[in-house]
Amino acid sequence: MFEFRFPDGTAQTWSGELLTIGRDASNGWVLAVPGVWPRHAEVRRAADGRLTVKSLGDAVVSVNGVPVRESVLHWGDLVALGSAAVRFHLRPPVQRGLRGWERSLWALLALCALGQAIVVVVLRR
């Protein structure tokens, strides 16, 4: 999962294989700012997991101030689409609670201790 963050802190999050960006409502990310074309760019996930941004048609896409036709994205890259400048980030993982696993582990340890006690009692007879 990745996101594009605006300077004001808002973000556009995405986790699919292809994200289209542009002014048109058919895009995955509708970005209605000056200089953005109806179908401006796309972000695609490669088989190896890398993400690339590609300009569509004659649209201008810049990565870290350099105009590109296609470029692999890296964490923290500044991507300019029309008048919008956004930072590319991988979303931080969300850790789920471990309380259930911890309880299950303690229950398993208690059963093992009980089983050992039973074996000791049976062997002493």
Give tens-digit pLDDT for 16-35.
899 999 999 999 999 999 99
pTM of structure: 0.69
Candidate from 41-45, 80-84, 88-92, 106-110 with smallest mean pLDDT: 88-92
Return all residues near 4 (Cβ < 8 A) that are at least 6 apart: 11, 12, 29, 79, 86, 87, 88, 89
Separation of alpha carbons 65 and 78, rounded Å: 7
Alpha-carbon distances, residue 108 vs 86, 89, 97, 102, 111 (angstroms): 49, 40, 19, 10, 5
Q: Give the pLDDT confidence of 30-83 residue by residue, as tens digits.
A: 999 999 999 999 999 998 889 999 999 999 999 999 999 999 999 999 999 999
Q: In what order do the strands lie in the sheet with 2-5?
A: 11-14, 2-5, 84-90, 78-81, 61-63, 66-68
The answer to whether residue 86 scores a pLDDT higher than 80 is yes
The answer to whether residue 95 scores a pLDDT higher than 80 is no
The answer to whether residue 99 scores a pLDDT higher than 90 is no
